[in-house]
């Protein structure tokens, strides 16, 4: 829906800027040119901080939001755009002055009372409300019986708050969640303040120590109990559990400290200030269409998934935990780089599985056997889902990004050996810690750390239309492509191989 509100006439006159400068409906939608979602985000400014407030109204099940964005203008800004969809925007101020604004397509176009010069800091304040149950073309809201949670990846965060919604523009976050006292508001990071109000609501404030991508925001309201526990070296762990399900979920939640020790042995010190699980109070596939999402420091889960024995959930829990390193601390520069998240998460999740002797759903019991099976499907997956580092919006979460990505990393490991591979991994994580990295960054790190020209080898694996030979396994073969296979089976396989 398109909305248009005027700034007061007196301010307009002062600023001498006709509101007509806000582009009319139908004007070309801009964007940062992401290979998968070209219209997402902007490169006109660099988001530095988001201070978000969410107030939950149980009577209407809606949310009142305030977003305060500070950013640096990278060009002169007579107008600026935030991504926004389904937000009922009431007011926008830039540097304290009311600004003109209009929502259209998936953008909130703002015209400050006076242009912002290139290089200047600006502060954009947006007041809005949102209905998590609204029917939108896509959404980042997760509806629960007594509140909500957030699953923004890849392009849903801007249905929750207006933002520069591309993974390449990370920022610092604080989140304040206000809820009636029988409910509890939570968000990423650490709780820094609890403020009860006379009207029977309480505001809880959370600060994320490390920068975060918009897609990794978590904010949730529900009938929750918070369970604190200890991780390695005193890392504070926090699980946020629907109170009625706390006892059922405890066996799964108690697995995290042991998983952290394993992950730290492979990847180095846990990069964030805390970790924990948020099994939101819904198993409805319509609430979100997958098992879990690595929202930073507080991974969202379907609760029933976690009620299974360890052998059925451990590798996927490892997959999500590993996203703290690959995905959250080191975030893909663009959505074409998603294999860096999912390939690494699946590789370590599967290593964990087979090391512990848990066969996967295909009956494979070693990583090598599993990789041989994925290898055989290599050309079919390239045909159906594109090469590993060339996803489209339709193929983004296909298995090609998951076990397909793990296969690329396995091939690299077979080529250079475990020791060099581990050094590449550690160097990549260290270089891009709390930043973003692209596929090219991974290739550069592989070349430099190994002292070998590996990027040509990796490019064939990542961008080739055909599956390259597997180093060390000349006997491995690739099945011929069946052009009609995806159509007959309802599409290429999707999602993580750790399940």
Q: What is the DSSP letter of 342?
A: H
Could you tell me the smallest distance in angstroms from the CB atom of residue 75 to ligand ARG?
A: 31
Extract the tokens encoding 393: 């919006």
Give the residue with the Cβ less far from ligand ARG, 398 or 425. Answer: 398
Applying CB under 5 A, the site for Zn ion has a residue count of 2
CB under 5 to 8 A by kind: which of Zn ion, ligand ARG, none does 173 bind? Answer: none
Q: Find the binding residues for ligand ARG in span 250-309 (CB under 6 A).
A: 290, 292-294
Exactly one of 53, 67, 109, 153 binds ligand ARG (CB under 6 A); that residue is: 153
Annotate 419-438 with b (16+ C-beta within 10 A) or e (fewer): ebbeebbeebbebbeeebbb
**Overall residue count recorded for the chain in this entry:** 499
CB under 5 to 8 A by kind: which of ligand ARG, Zn ion, none does 455 bind? Answer: none
Could you tell me the smallest distance in angstroms from the CB atom of residue 303 to ligand ARG?
A: 16
| CA–CA gap between residue 21 and residue 7 (Å, rounded) | 13
| CA–CA gap between residue 414 and residue 421 (Å, rounded) | 9
> Which residue's entry shows tokens 């303040």?
193
The answer to whether 318 contacts Zn ion (rule: CB under 5 A) is: no
Extract the tokens encoding 16: 């001498």
Could you tell me the smallest distance in angstroms from the CB atom of residue 341 to Zn ion?
A: 6
Residue ranges in 358-498 assigned as alpha helix (H): 367-376, 378-385, 403-416, 418-431, 439-450, 455-463, 485-489
CB under 5 to 8 A by kind: which of ligand ARG, Zn ion, none does 293 bind? Answer: ligand ARG
> Which residue's entry shows tokens 């009625």?
244
Strand partners, 203: 178, 195
Exactly one of 41, 496, 497, 499 binds ligand ARG (CB under 6 A); that residue is: 496
| CA–CA gap between residue 26 and residue 400 (Å, rounded) | 36
Could you tell me the smallest distance in angstroms from the CB atom of residue 355 to ligand ARG?
A: 20
Give the residue with the Cβ less far from ligand ARG, 290 or 463. Answer: 290
Applying CB under 6 A, the site for ligand ARG has a residue count of 10
Could you tell me the smallest distance in angstroms from the CB atom of residue 477 to ligand ARG?
A: 29
> Counting Cβ atoms within 10 Å, is residue 192 exposed (0-12), middle (13-18) or buried (19+)?
exposed
* C-alpha torsion angle, residues 273, 275, 279, 280 (rounded to 10): 10
Do residues 434 and 211 lie in contact, with contact meaning Cβ atoms separated by under 8 Å? yes
SS3 479: coil
Give the residue with the Cβ less far from ligand ARG, 116 or 278. Answer: 278
Q: Find the binding residues for ligand ARG in span 378-417 (CB under 6 A).
A: 397
| CA–CA gap between residue 227 and residue 74 (Å, rounded) | 43
Give the residue with the Cβ less far from ligand ARG, 324 or 450. Answer: 324
CB under 5 to 8 A by kind: which of ligand ARG, Zn ion, none does 105 bind? Answer: none
Extract the tokens encoding 432: 């891009």
Could you tell me the smallest distance in angstroms from the CB atom of residue 206 to ligand ARG?
A: 22
Exactly one of 83, 106, 342, 441 binds ligand ARG (CB under 6 A); that residue is: 342
Do residues 52 and 144 lie in contact, with contact meaning Cβ atoms separated by under 8 Å? no
Could you tell me the smallest distance in angstroms from the CB atom of residue 292 to Zn ion?
A: 8
Residue number of the CB atom closest to ligand ARG:
153
The answer to whether 320 contacts ligand ARG (rule: CB under 6 A) is: yes
Exactly one of 108, 212, 345, 437 binds Zn ion (CB under 5 A); that residue is: 345
- Find the helix packing angle between 338-355 and 403-416, rounded to 10°: 70
Residue number of the CB atom closest to Zn ion:
345
Extract the tokens encoding 244: 């009625």
Could you tell me the smallest distance in angstroms from the CB atom of residue 299 to ligand ARG?
A: 8
| CA–CA gap between residue 457 and residue 415 (Å, rounded) | 9
Give the residue with the Cβ less far from ligand ARG, 109 or 324. Answer: 324
Could you tell me the smallest distance in angstroms from the CB atom of residue 317 to ligand ARG?
A: 10
Which positions touch Zn ion (CB under 5 A)?
342, 345
Which positions touch ligand ARG (CB under 6 A)?
153-154, 290, 292-294, 320, 342, 397, 496
């Amino acid at each position: 829906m398109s909305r248009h509100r005027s700034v007061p006439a007196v301010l307009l006159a002062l600023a001498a800027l006709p509101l007509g400068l806000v582009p009319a409906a139908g004007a070309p939608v801009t964007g940062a040119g992401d290979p998968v979602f070209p219209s997402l985000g902007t490169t006109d400014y660099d988001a530095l901080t988001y201070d978000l407030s969410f107030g939950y109204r149980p009577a209407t099940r809606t949310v009142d939001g305030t977003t305060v964005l500070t950013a640096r203008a990278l060009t002169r800004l007579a107008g600026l755009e935030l991504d926004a969809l389904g937000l009922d925007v009431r007011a926008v101020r830039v540097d304290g002055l009311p600004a003109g604004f209009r929502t259209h397509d998936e953008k909130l176009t703002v015209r400050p009372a006076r242009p912002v010069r290139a290089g200047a800091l600006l502060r954009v304040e947006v007041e809005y409300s949102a209905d998590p149950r609204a029917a939108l073309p896509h959404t980042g809201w997760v509806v629960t019986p007594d509140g909500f949670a957030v699953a923004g990846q890849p392009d849903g965060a801007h249905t929750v708050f207006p933002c520069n919604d591309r993974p390449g523009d990370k920022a610092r976050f604080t989140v304040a969640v206000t809820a009636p006292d029988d409910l509890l508001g939570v968000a990423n990071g650490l709780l820094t303040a609890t403020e009860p109000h006379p009207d029977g609501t309480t505001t809880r404030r959370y600060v994320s120590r490390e920068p975060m991508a918009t897609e990794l925001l978590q904010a949730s309201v529900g009938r929750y109990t918070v369970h604190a526990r200890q991780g390695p070296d005193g890392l504070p762990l926090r699980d946020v559990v629907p109170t009625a399900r706390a006892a059922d979920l405890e066996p799964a939640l108690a697995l995290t400290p042991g998983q952290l020790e394993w992950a730290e042995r492979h990847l180095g010190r846990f990069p964030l200030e805390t970790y924990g699980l948020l099994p939101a109070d819904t198993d409805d596939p319509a609430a979100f269409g997958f098992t879990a999402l690595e929202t930073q420091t507080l991974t969202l889960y379907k609760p029933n998934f976690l009620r299974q024995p360890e052998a059925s959930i451990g590798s996927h829990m490892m997959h999500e935990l590993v996203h703290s390193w690959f995905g959250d601390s080191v975030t893909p520069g663009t959505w074409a780089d998603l294999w860096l998240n999912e390939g690494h998460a699946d590789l370590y999740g599967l290593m964990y599985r087979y090391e512990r002797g848990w066969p996967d759903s295909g009956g494979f019991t070693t990583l090598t056997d599993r990789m041989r099976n994925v290898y055989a499907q290599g050309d079919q997956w390239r045909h159906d889902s594109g090469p590993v580092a060339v996803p489209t919006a339709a193929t983004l979460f296909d298995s090609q990004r998951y076990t397909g990505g793990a296969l690329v990393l396995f091939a690299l490991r077979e080529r250079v050996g475990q020791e060099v591979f581990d050094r590449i991994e550690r160097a990549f994580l260290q270089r891009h810690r709390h930043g973003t990295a692209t596929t090219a960054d991974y290739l550069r790190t592989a070349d430099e750390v190994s002292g070998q020209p590996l990027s040509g080898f990796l490019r064939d694996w990542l961008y080739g239309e055909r599956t390259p030979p597997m180093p060390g396994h000349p006997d491995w073969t690739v099945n011929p492509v069946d052009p009609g296979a995806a159509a007959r089976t309802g599409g290429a396989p999707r999602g993580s191989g750790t399940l």
